[in-house]
Structure 1
Amino acid sequence: MTEVNCVSYGKWRSPLTSDLIVSATIGLSTPRFDGEDIYWLESRPLEGGRSVIVKYSPNGEHQDITPAPFNVRSRVHEYGGGAFLVQDSTVYFCNNSDQRVYIQKVGESPQPLTPESKLRYADFCLDKSHNRLICVCEDHSEENHEPQNKLVTINIITGEVKTLCKGADFYASPRISPNNSQLAWLSWNHPNMPWDSTELHLADINPDGSLTNITLVAGGENESICQPEFSPNGILYFSGDRSLWWNLYYRDEKGNIHSAYPLDAEFGYPHWVFGESVYGFEREDKIICTYTQDGCWFLGSIDKKTKSLTDYEIPFTNIAYLQVQGEEILFAGSSPSQPGAIVKMNLNHGQYEILKQSSNTIIDEGYISQPIPLEFPTSNGKTAYAWYYPPQNKDFVAPEGELPPLLVKSHGGPTAMTSASYNLRIQYWTSRGFAFVDVNYGGSTGYGRDYRQRLKGNWGIVDVEDCVNVAQYLVKEGKVDGDKLAISGGSAGGYTTLAALTFFDTFKAGASYYGVSDLEILATDTHKFESRYLDSLIGKYPEEKEIYQMRSPLYHIDKLSCPVIFFQGLEDKVVPPNQAEMMYNALKEKGIKTSYITFADEQHGFRKAENIKKALDTEYNFYIEIFSNH
Structure 2
Amino acid sequence: MERTLPYGAWPSVIDAALAAAHDGQPEAVGFVGEEAWWTEPRPTEGGRRTLVRRTADGTEESVLPPPWNVRSRVMEYGGRPWTGVSGPEGPLVVFVNFADQRLYAYEPAATGAEPRPLSPLSPVGGGLRWVDPQLHLDRGEVWCVLEEFTGDAPTDVRRVAVAVPLDGSAAHDRGAVRELNHARHRFVTGPRLSPDGRRAVWLAWDHPRMPWDGTELIVAEVADDGTLREPRTVAGGPEESIAQAEWAPDGSLLYASDRTGWWNLYRDGEPLCPREEEFAGPLWKVGLRWFAPLENGLIAVVHGRGAGRLGILDPESGEVVDAAGPWTEFAATLAAHGSRVVAVGASPRSSYEVIELDSRPHDRKSAHSGTPAGPARVIGAAHKDPVDPAYYPEPQIRTFTGPGGREIHAHIYPPHHPVHRAPTDELPPYVLWAHGGPTSRAALVLDLEIAYFTSRGIGVAEVNYGGSTGYGREYRNSLREQWGVVDVEDCAAVALALADEGTADRDRLAVRGGSAGGWTTAVSLTTTDVYACGTIIYPVLDLANWGSGETHDFESRYLETLVGPYAQVPARYAERSPLEHADRITAPFLLLQGLDDAICPPVQCERFLARLAGRSIPHAYIAFEGEGHGFRRAETMVRALEAELSLYAQVLGLNPPGIPELELSR
TM alignment of 1:598-609, pairs within 5 A: 598-609=623-634
Structure 2 equivalent of residue 210 of structure 1: 227
Compute the displacement of 1:308 (Å).
2.1
Residue of structure 1 equivalent to 2:368? none
1:282 to partner: Cα distance: 2.5
Contact residue 281 and residue 288 of structure 1 kept, 8 A: yes
Please say if 1:169 is aligned against 2:174.
Answer: no
Which residue number in structure 1 is paired with residue 364 of structure 2?
A: none
Paired residue for 2:664?
A: none
Q: Using the TM superposition, name which of 9-18 and 537-546 deviates more.
A: 537-546
* Equivalent runs, 1:250-269 vs 2, <5 Å: 250-251=267-268, 257-269=269-281
The whole-number CA distance in structure 2 between the counterparts of 1:538 and 1:25 is: 32
2:369 paired residue number: none
Distance between the aligned counterparts of 1:358 and 1:505, measured in 2? 44
Alpha-carbon distance between aligned partners in 2 of 1:587 and 1:436, rounded to the nearest angstrom = 29
Q: Tell me what 1:136 maps to.
A: 145
CA distance in 2, matches of 1:369, 1:360: 16
SS in 1 for 2:426: coil
Residue type matched to 2:209 in 1? N
Q: Distance in 2 between matches of 1:284 and 1:201?
A: 26
Structure 1: where are the runs of 5+ without partners?
252-256
Contact 2:84/2:135 (CA < 8 Å) preserved in 1?
no
**Alignment partner of 1:155 is 2:160:** no
After TM superposition, the structure 1 = structure 2 runs for residues 543-582 of structure 1, keeping only pairs within 5 Å, are 543-582=568-607
Aligned residues of 2:120 and 2:128 also touching (Cα < 8 A): no
What secondary structure does 1:376 align onto? strand
- Give the Cα–Cα distance (whole angstroms) in 2 for the partners of residues 416 and 589 of structure 1: 37
Alignment match, 1:123: 132
| 1:22 positional shift | 2.2
The answer as to whether partners of 2:204 and 2:217 remain within 8 angstroms in 1 is: yes
> Secondary structure of 2:294's match?
strand
1:277 aligns with 289
- The amino acid of 2:586's aligned partner reads S
Mean alpha-carbon deviation: is it higher for 370-379 or for 313-322? 313-322
| Cα offset, 1:355, TM superposition | 2.1
Q: 1:26 to 1:220 in 2, by over 3 A?
A: closer
CA–CA distance in structure 2, aligned partners of residues 311 and 629 of structure 1: 44
TM-score by length of 1: 0.96
Structure 1 residue aligned with 2:635: 610
Which residue is 2:367 aligned to?
A: none
Secondary structure of the structure 1 residue equivalent to 2:191: strand
Matched with 2:303 is 291
Matched AA of 1:317: T
Measured in 2, the distance between the counterparts of 1:353 and 1:589 equals 59
What's the CA shift string for 1:281-316, capped at 9, x where partnerless?
2335311211021x2222222212222222232211
Q: Counterpart amino acid of 2:119?
A: T
CA displacement at 1:359 relative to structure 2: 5.0
Shift in Å, 1:495 = 0.3
* 1:248 equivalent among 259, 265, 274: 265
Match of 1:227 among 244, 257, 260: 244
Deviation at 1:356, TM superposition (A): 2.4
User: Would the alpha carbon gap of residues 551 and 26 (structure 1) be closer, same or farther in structure 2, given more than 3 Å must change?
Assistant: closer
* Counterpart AA for 2:179: T
**Deviation (angstroms), 1:25:** 4.8
Q: Retained in 2: the 8 A contact 1:569–1:598? A: yes
User: Secondary structure of 1:472's partner?
Assistant: helix
Match of 1:104 among 97, 103, 106: 106
8 Å Cα contact 1:285-1:305 kept in structure 2: no
Percent identity (aligned) = 37
- For 1:341 and 1:168, the matched residues in 2 are separated by 36
Residues 509-543 of structure 1: CA deviation (Å, up to 9, x unaligned): 00010011111111111110000000011011233
CA distance in 2, matches of 1:303, 1:220: 28
2:327 to 316, 331, 338: 316
* CA-atom RMSD in angstroms: 1.5
Q: Which amino acid is 1:371 matched to?
A: P
SS in 2 for 1:582: helix
Whether the aligned pair in 2 keeps the contact of 1:16 and 1:431 (CA below 8 Å) is yes
- Counterpart mapping for 1:119-518 below 5 A: 119-144=128-153, 146-157=156-167, 158-159=169-170, 160-165=176-181, 166-251=183-268, 257-293=269-305, 295-320=306-331, 321-348=333-360, 350-357=374-381, 359-518=383-542
Q: What is the alpha-carbon distance in structure 2 between the residues aligned to residue 568 and residue 271 of structure 1?
A: 25
Q: Which amino acid aligns with 1:44?
A: R
Q: Deviations over 1:456-478 (max 9, x none)?
A: 11000000000000000111111
Conserved 8 A contact 1:127-1:180: no
Whether contact under 8 Å (1:584, 1:595) holds in the other structure is no
Residue type matched to 2:609 in 1?
Answer: Y
Q: Measured at CA, do residues 385 and 136 of structure 1 come closer, stay the same or move farther in structure 2, by a change above 3 Å?
A: same
1:281–1:325 contact (8 Å) kept in structure 2: no
Range moving further from structure 2, 186-195 or 346-355: 346-355
Deviations 1:217-240 (A, max 9, x none): 100110000111010112111100
**Which deviations, in whole Å up to 9, do the C-alpha atoms of 1:139-167 show, x marking residues without a partner?**
11322352111111111123331222312
Which position in structure 1 is the counterpart of 2:661?
A: none
Pairing 1:628–2:626 present: no
Report how far residue 6 of structure 1 moved: 1.1
Whole-angstrom CA distance in 2 between matches of 1:557 and 1:620: 24
Question: Is the alpha carbon distance of 1:24 and 1:441 closer, same or farther for their aligned partners in structure 2, counting shifts above 3 Å?
Answer: closer
Provide the C-alpha distance between the structure 2 equivalents of 1:527 and 1:26, rounded to a whole number of angstroms: 23
Contact 1:573 1:604 in 2 (8 A): yes
**Structure 1 counterpart of 2:131, which letter?**
A
* Residue identity opposite 2:647 in structure 1: F
Give the counterpart letter for 1:627 in structure 2.
L
Displacement after TM superposition at 1:130 (Å): 2.0
SS in 1 for 2:343: strand
| Worse-matched range after superposition: 130-139 or 426-435 | 130-139
Structure 1 distance, partners of 2:208, 2:461, is 33
Give, in angstroms, the shift of residue 434 of structure 1.
0.7
Deviations 1:94-135 (A, max 9, x none): 111111100001232100111222210001122344221111
**What secondary structure, in the 3-state scheme, does the structure 2 residue paired with 1:330 have?**
strand
How many Å separate the matches in 1 of 2:204 and 2:302?
24
SS in structure 1 at match of 2:561 = helix
AA aligned opposite 2:327: F
Q: Is the 8 A contact 1:28 1:358 kept in 2?
A: no
Q: Against the structure 1 CA distance between its residues 360 and 312, is the aligned structure 2 distance closer, same or farther, given a 3 Å change threshold?
A: closer
- How has the CA–CA distance of structure 1 residues 285 and 375 changed in structure 2, closer, same or farther, with 3 Å as cutoff? same
* Correspondence for 1:94: 96
Q: Cα 1:57–1:446, aligned 2, differ >3 Å: closer, same or farther? A: same
CA contact 1:12–1:432 (8 Å) conserved in 2: yes
The alignment's TM-score, normalised by the length of structure 2, stands at 0.91
Q: Partner amino acid for 2:603?
A: N
Contact 1:119–1:141 (CA<8 Å) still a contact in 2? Answer: no
Stretch deviating more after TM superposition (61-70 or 571-580): 61-70
- Check the 8 A contact 1:570/1:600 in 2, yes or no: yes
Residue type of the alignment partner of 1:499: V
Range with greater deviation from structure 2 (535-544 or 456-465): 535-544
User: Any idea what SS the aligned residue of 2:423 has?
Assistant: coil
Q: Output the amino acid matched with 2:596.
A: E
- Distance change >3 Å, CA 383–CA 457, structure 1 → 2: same
Measure, in 1, the Cα distance between the counterparts of 2:623 and 2:184. Answer: 39
Alignment of 1:44 with 2:42, yes or no, is yes
CA distance in 1: counterparts of 2:432 and 2:445, whole angstroms: 17
Is there any run of 5+ residues in structure 2 with no aligned partner, and where? 171-175, 362-373, 656-666
